[in-house]
Structures are given as C-alpha cells and as structure tokens.
Structure 1
C-alpha cells in the first residue's frame, strides 16, 4: 500500500465512525419519537463520543457538501406565502438588535462580576450566535480560550439539543415542512444545480454561512416562484440532517470533561441569561407581529445559523425568517464585536512571545 493512501484510509475510517455514531443516535431518538430526531439524536450521540475522544470532526470538504445539500433541502419550504410575510421582518430585525445587545451585556456582567472572569475572556464568551467568528477573534487576544470555547460551545449544544424539545412540548410549532412530493430526477437536478450555483456565488462574495445560505436562497427562489413544488428525497436529506448533528456534536473535540465540568456553573448562568432574554423577546415580538413565538425564539436564539435553520425547518417553522435573522446577527456581530472590544478595553492582542502557547 502506498504511503499516501494510509492517511486517506484513516480519514475515511474517521468519517465512517463519526457518521455511524451520529446515525445511531438519530435512529434511537427517532425510535422514541424525539422532536427533530435526525438532528437532536445525532448531536447528543456525537457530543458524548467527542468528549470521550471516540470521534473526529468531519473534513471541511465534506462539510461544504453537507451545507449545500441542507440549503437545497430547506429551500423547498419557502412558498409565495412566505414571501408575503417578509413585510413583517423590519420590526423583528430591530427587536433582534436590541435582544442581542441585551444578551451580550447580561452574559458579560454575569461572567465578569458573578464569576470573576477577566474583562477580555468574559466579553468574548458572551456574543451569541457567531461561534466561529467569535472564537477566531478571541484567539488574537489575551482571552482564556478554554473558557471562551466551553461557554460558547455549551450554549450551541443546549440550544440544538433542548430547543426542539421545548418548542414541541409548548406546541409553538407546526407539522414538519416535508409535505411536498419528493422530487424526481429532473427536479432533483434543477434543485441541486441551482443550489450549487447559489452556494458558489455566496461563497465568492464571502457572505456568512455562504454555502448553505446561497444554496438555500437559490432553492427558495425556485420554490417561491412556483417553478418547482417538490423536495429532495428522504434518502438524500435525512443523512444530511444527521451529518449536521455530527458537525455540531464534534464541536466538543479538544475539550475535556474535566474542563467542561469546572466551567459548568458559569456556562449555565450565561446560557440561562441569554436564553431567558431570547424567550422574553420572542414572546413580545411574536405577540406584537402575530408570528409564532417558537419561530421568533429560534430566530433570536443564540445558536448557530445552520442548526437553527434546520431546527425551524424540522419543526414546521419558517426557515427563511430564521435564516435572515441569523445572517443579520452574524454580520452585525462580526463588525460590532471588535469595535466594542476596543471600546471596553477587551481588544488587547496577544503578546508575540505567548504565541507558542496557543498550540499547546
């Protein structure tokens, strides 16, 4: 066997193990009628396996394909009625800006004053819903990355694992948006072709979540215009739901159970504050605009773009509404975080001599 084939085989084995664990969790969740089982079950199983160092994150190229397929699939939920609801979004977007500001402030104060964290670490652990960008920015500062990572990853995990259950129990949702007929080969080619083009365009423009949002936008345009009224077949979409669960679950890679337990109180307190504010704003915005409170909460929830859009889709909520709000938040936080960090003195860059420590 040539030497270059060994790494490929090892990578393929890692993918198979990770996806196998995620699939087992998804099937188990489905067998007990768990809400959004293909996502939630996969997240819970891979999170546990990741903490035990049994699984590895999926390769970037495979993740890219998954995001395109997810966007193409969720675009089928957009209808002409969805477009008519866009008129209600400006007020909701304004409320989102207030809600995010309140979430950051509340989490920061809790971590800073309640747990004695330093200013830089408390600040970068607080922005909700822009995990990758926040971690990247925090890595250039003197923030304690283990604390930042645990609080941020814990927040996403709880939302993806618990939010679907809570919304399902509350009844603030609709039947899953998978009632359209499954597409034939021609319709599949049209959906996937347009989704791929949209994904590449958005990625080239360097927009947040570009691959999935671009694919979603292109697929949504086909369905909202009435050109197509079909969804991708289950044999293609269900594995992508499971794969997204694996992507979220393996966020715990590199974190030890001991580190997480040591920071559990701080993580819970930060999450309770941000989630509580999200619920309060969701109820208020939903009541004032006549929108489902569950839908508004998923849009305002401090979770990841892809996971929250899929959660909305699986619970019969509007993924376009949810996606638009998460993209707006991502863009706003990407610009606002470094500015606010400088204003409050949390933008101190890491000293050059400490650089090797980041790799330990």
Structure 2
C-alpha cells in the first residue's frame, strides 16, 4: 500500500466509524466516532500501522473549510453584543488565571511533574505556543504534548456527551442540527475552494492567530456581511471535515506507552474536570449578564481547541461565530501570558 493511499484508507475506515456513531445517536458523531476509532488503533496496534503522511496536511485543509462555515454565520446582530462581550472578556481573564493555578497544582502535586512541565501543561489554550515555550524552558516535551492534546480531546468528548445526557436526547449534528446545506450543487465547489484559498492566504500572510481557521472565517464573514456571494457549504463536506479532524486527534496517541497514557489521562480527568466546573460557574454568572443562555456560555468558556469547540457549538442553538470569538480571545490571553512570563519563568524553573 503506498503511503498516500494509507491515509485515505484510514479516513475511509474512520468515516465508517462516524456513520456508526451517528446510528448510535452520539453527539458530534463524525468527529467523536473517528477520534475513538483512530485513538484505539493508535494505542492498541501502533507498530502495525503504516505511515499517514497526508493526514496533517488534510487536517489543515479541512480546518479551513470549518473556518469558512463559521464565517458564514457572522451577521450584523453579532456586533450588537459589544457590551456583553466586554463583560465576558473580564470573566475570561479570571477563568484563565484560575485554570492555570488549578492545573499547576494538579500536575505538580498529583503528577509530580517538574515545575516547567507542570506550568506549561497548565495553559488552558495556545496548544502549540505552550509546547514551544515549554520546550525552550526545559520541560518534558512528551508529557507536555500529551497533556495538552488530552485537554482538547477530553473537552470535546465529554462536553457534547454531558449536554446530551442533560437534554435526555441526542443534540447537535446527531440531533439533526447543521450549519450546512443538504442539497448544494457541485457547481458551488469552485467558489468554496477559492474562498478557502483566499482565507488561508489571509491567515498566513496576515499572521492571524489560528490563521488556518480565522483567515477563512474572515473571508466567510466578509461574504456574509456584504452579500457579495451566497456561500453554501454542502453537508457532506462538513461531515468529511469533522472526520479528518477527529482522525488526526486520535492518531496523536501513536507510540505512547500504556502506562504513561494512563497516568496522563488520570491527571487530565482531574484537570479538565476542574476547568469544566469553573467554566460552568462562570457561565452561570455570565449568562444573565450577557443575555446568552447557560449552555452557550459554557461552550464559550470550555477550554477546548478553537476548531473543535466551534463544532461543539452545534450542540445548542448558538452562533458558532460568537463561540469562536470567545475562544480566540481566551487563547490570545493565554499566549500573551506565556509570552510575558517566559523570560521570568525561565530564570526560576
């Protein structure tokens, strides 16, 4: 089997897992199904798996597609909530500080991690930035990477399932909600490809945070607000994007020893559990002040990845553009804090 072909076979298998997850009524089936399938394979038979050289590149392409989908949801009404946004920014700052303090205690006291590894594993956002700063400070790179990826994976796994249990029925895409169109003609694909390409270029050359997502998001928002082009994204393309993102997340477990994975997973459960409890507290305080529902604010504060949390936003009738904005602000706060503290911490860790 050639190396590129192995990538597409993996995606096909994980796509079938997504379809099965949808039949079982799981929330976010086309992301969680592939995540579970690829993660199981990566931990159970890592030495029998071939290389998947195109997976990371495909993930980046489909993250851009998701960004475009989110951008099409930007409407003038979104900007009418500026006062509520300012209150939420203050609450996000408190959330970031308390999350770092909680996580550092968990990784330092329970995990017995060294100070650098514990501190940079504690960042509730800025996944790649925290890894880069941590490695420069002498952190254990393998533990740091594992804890940061487990944070994202556990949040995007637990939160939709918890919402489904809370509602007593499937929510989100498993419950029939979607941001995409069911009957979009193939003739619309060239416009979608052009918009995605323009967005990726904007994100890269404009040095936007999470540029692979936010660049296409900006293009989608521009088209939505101006009405220049009616951007319709086919449902099958959104499903495929979720399959690729979920598969790539699951494959992060490749090569990790079972013992290390068990320890890191146990710590991540305590860490993520504390952060989600804090997010729920913040959401309960901010919901009446912002006029948004509790679930919308919970998803906005939950410390997952930007792309993945935008998909979780499908679980409630929330504007994913608003949820994405909150997460970008949270990540910017975290990265700014890491940048300002890097030199000071390096001399003390």
Flag whether TM exceeds 0.5 (same fold): yes
For residues 10 and 258 of structure 1, do their structure 2 counterparts lie closer, same or farther at Cα, with a shift above 3 Å needed?
farther
Say which SS state the counterpart of residue 262 (structure 1) adopts. helix
Equivalent residue for 1:20, pick from 12, 25, 29: 12
**1:169 aligned partner:** 165
Q: How many Å apart are 1:61 and its aligned residue?
A: 2.8
For residues 115 and 61 of structure 1, do their structure 2 counterparts lie closer, same or farther at Cα, with a shift above 3 Å needed?
closer
Where do 1:219-238 residues align within 5 Å?
Answer: 219-227=220-228, 231-238=232-239
**2:255 aligned partner:** 254
- 1: CA distance between counterparts of 2:347 and 2:272? 21
Q: Is the 8 A contact 2:74 2:225 kept in 1?
A: yes
**1:144 aligned partner:** 140
**2:115 aligned partner:** 119
- 2: CA distance between counterparts of 1:323 and 1:67? 13
Q: Is the 8 A contact 2:14 2:243 kept in 1?
A: yes
Say which SS state the counterpart of residue 136 (structure 2) adopts. coil
TM-score norm. by structure 2 comes to: 0.87
- 2: CA distance between counterparts of 1:308 and 1:337? 22
Question: Could you report, residue by residue, the CA deviation over 1:38-83 in whole angstroms, capped at 9, with x for unpaired residues?
Answer: 1121212112122232475644432222122222223333334334
For residues 183 and 21 of structure 1, do their structure 2 counterparts lie closer, same or farther at Cα, with a shift above 3 Å needed?
closer
Q: How many Å apart are 1:116 and its aligned residue?
A: 3.1
Question: Could you report, residue by residue, the CA deviation over 1:61-117 in whole angstroms, capped at 9, with x for unpaired residues?
Answer: 322221222222233333343343455212112211110111011111222234432
1:320 and 2:321 aligned? yes
- 2: CA distance between counterparts of 1:97 and 1:264? 26
**1:210 aligned partner:** 211
Q: Is the 8 A contact 1:69 1:215 kept in 2?
A: yes
Question: Could you report, residue by residue, the CA deviation over 1:198-234 in whole angstroms, capped at 9, with x for unpaired residues?
Answer: 2211111222221221112211232244455553112
Say which SS state the counterpart of residue 232 (structure 2) adopts. coil
Equivalenced residue count is 340
**1:33 aligned partner:** 25
Question: Could you report, residue by residue, the CA deviation over 1:119-172 in whole angstroms, capped at 9, with x for unpaired residues?
Answer: 111101100122122112212222122322232222111111121121233349
For residues 204 and 182 of structure 1, do their structure 2 counterparts lie closer, same or farther at Cα, with a shift above 3 Å needed?
farther
**2:125 aligned partner:** 129
1:98 and 2:89 aligned? no
For residues 264 and 184 of structure 1, do their structure 2 counterparts lie closer, same or farther at Cα, with a shift above 3 Å needed?
closer
Q: Is the 8 A contact 2:63 2:212 kept in 1?
A: yes
Where do 1:55-94 residues align within 5 Å?
Answer: 58-94=54-90
Gaps of 5+ in 2: none
TM-score norm. by structure 1 comes to: 0.85
**1:293 aligned partner:** 294
Q: How many Å apart are 1:26 and its aligned residue?
A: 0.7
Q: Which moved more, 1:223-232 or 1:129-138?
A: 223-232
For residues 81 and 170 of structure 1, do their structure 2 counterparts lie closer, same or farther at Cα, with a shift above 3 Å needed?
farther
- 2: CA distance between counterparts of 1:158 and 1:137? 23
Q: Which moved more, 1:215-224 or 1:174-183?
A: 174-183
Q: CA RMSD in A?
A: 2.6
Q: How many Å apart are 1:342 and its aligned residue?
A: 3.8
Say which SS state the counterpart of residue 77 (structure 1) adopts. coil
Say which SS state the counterpart of residue 318 (structure 2) adopts. coil
For residues 94 and 134 of structure 1, do their structure 2 counterparts lie closer, same or farther at Cα, with a shift above 3 Å needed?
same
**1:3 aligned partner:** none
- 2: CA distance between counterparts of 1:80 and 1:339? 35
Say which SS state the counterpart of residue 264 (structure 1) adopts. helix
- 2: CA distance between counterparts of 1:197 and 1:205? 11
**1:357 aligned partner:** none
